[in-house]
Amino acid sequence: MGLKFMKRTIQEIETMIEGGEATVLTAEEVTRMVLDGEELSTDDVDVITTGTCGIMSGTLAIFHLPVAEPGAFKKASHILLNGIPGVPGPCPNEWLGSIDFIVYGTAHSLNDPNYGGGHLFKDLVKGKEVEVEVESSEGNVLRTPATLEDFGTAQLLGTRFAFKNYTAFVNPTSQPISSIFNAVDMLGPLKGISFSGCGELNPLQNDPELNILNKGAKVLLNNSEGIFIGQGTRSTLLKPNMMLTADMREMDSHYLGGYLTGAGPEVYNSVATAIPVLDDSILERTFIKNEDIKLPIADIRGRHSVLGETNYGTVWGGTDERPLYNEDDCRRCQQCLVEERCPTGAFQNNSLNLKRCFGCGMCSFACPYQIFHMKTGQVKMDCEGEELEIPVTCRQSDLKRARELAEELKNKVIKGEFSLRF
């Protein structure tokens, strides 16, 4: 049987949800059902949830914070949070004792090269106390501790999140290359491959023409209910991305944080969206399979230099979400390469924190004694007529967290805790 065209409204689907009659599935569940030979229509599926998690450089936070009594200073000229510089303004807040300011997720601490905006955001969302240092326009310095509860406003904004199209990277040269696209300086020639993207679970792979995921759509951003403002910076018809925002005070620290790269600290976020199945054409677009999603392989020195191509079926298929640490065989090296290179600090003092782990695979690549076991996959690439098998040595997206947030959203929809419209 072919797909039949049917049309219904979001209100009709929400009525079904309220009555406990709606079928809600993740995008991966839908794809598995299709691969198993099931013929799905709107009679079978009402809402599909999607998710992604990865480095999202276009992250900033808009803050308002009282730091002193009214009249204590005229306005702020500089501000630091745990050594992370913020940008005061645009409102000067003259003589109010409070500051409007912006902090970029890619900002680096002036005191600690391994601490950045993503680490700061995670610390705040976890409820940790941070040290605030303000220099006033008169040259006076004020210092005060603060937690997220002290902020009048803490709004996270993503200027370009959840790209539909990503690029994988290799280093074709013999010299190590520093880049945000790898957790450490990437070795070469062609010693490993780094990639991003959650494939068939990614929101924009399931609605590539933004028929449902358009301006005003609701999302979960780090498990905080947010909104799709519109297409983000550098978004195009062929390579769309999303501009999103949500309240940091409602976020779950598990879904965001700092990630060290060869070029310093970066920030990762998690996004989930719900796609109401209004007709069979919307449903059919969610049948996308990892094997059908192309992943160009480029020179890490520039995305314009494409050297080959793979797909998400190759880089995700048959791989492990997390490493297995063989503690009994660990050599307890005085200089542990895994501890030095783990981008989220998940391995410290001979202990692996799986809650903090990002599943990047760097541990299994870095350990010279193979104490960490993890299937990260490999890709085949033609190099001057010779077919090479290049191991995946760094994943900058976390499929496990993406799956968890897509499942979280699925449960929220089923329970009526996430409506499909504002």
What is the CATH classification number for the domain harbouring 101? Answer: 2.60.40
Contact 229, 210 (CB under 8 A): no
The amino acid at residue 269 is: N
Strand partners, 230: 243
- The predicted-structure confidence for 12-67, as pLDDT tens digits, reads as follows 999 999 999 999 999 999 999 999 999 999 999 999 999 999 999 999 999 999 99
- The predicted-structure confidence for 399-411, as pLDDT tens digits, reads as follows 999 999 999 999 9
Number of domains in the chain: 1
Contact 61, 269 (CB under 8 A): no
**pLDDT tens track, the chain, 422 positions:** 344 455 899 999 999 999 999 999 999 999 999 999 999 999 999 999 999 999 999 999 999 999 999 999 999 999 999 999 999 999 999 999 999 999 999 999 999 999 999 999 999 999 999 999 999 999 999 999 999 999 999 999 999 999 999 999 999 999 999 999 999 999 999 999 999 999 999 999 999 999 999 899 999 999 999 999 999 999 999 999 999 999 999 999 999 999 999 999 999 999 999 999 999 999 999 999 999 999 999 999 987 889 999 999 999 999 999 999 999 999 999 999 999 999 999 999 999 999 999 999 999 999 999 999 999 999 999 877 788 999 999 999 999 999 999 999 999 999 999 999 87
3-state SS, residue 99: strand
Q: Quick one: DSSP state of residue 200?
A: G
Give a yes or no: residue 185 inside a domain.
Answer: no
User: What gap in Å lies between CA 149 and CA 144, rounded to an integer?
Assistant: 14
Contact 258, 344 (CB under 8 A): yes
- Give Cα separations from 334 to 34, 93, 330, 341, 349 (angstroms): 51, 51, 12, 14, 11
Give a yes or no: residue 103 inside a domain.
Answer: yes
Nearest one of 63, 161, 162 to 117, comparing CA atoms: 63
The tokens of 80 are what? 């630091």
Give a yes or no: residue 316 inside a domain.
Answer: no
Give a yes or no: residue 124 inside a domain.
Answer: yes
3-state SS, residue 34: helix
Give a yes or no: residue 239 inside a domain.
Answer: no
* Domain, as residue range, for 134: 58-156
Give a yes or no: residue 4 inside a domain.
Answer: no
The amino acid at residue 247 is: D
Give a yes or no: residue 83 inside a domain.
Answer: yes
Give a yes or no: residue 187 inside a domain.
Answer: no
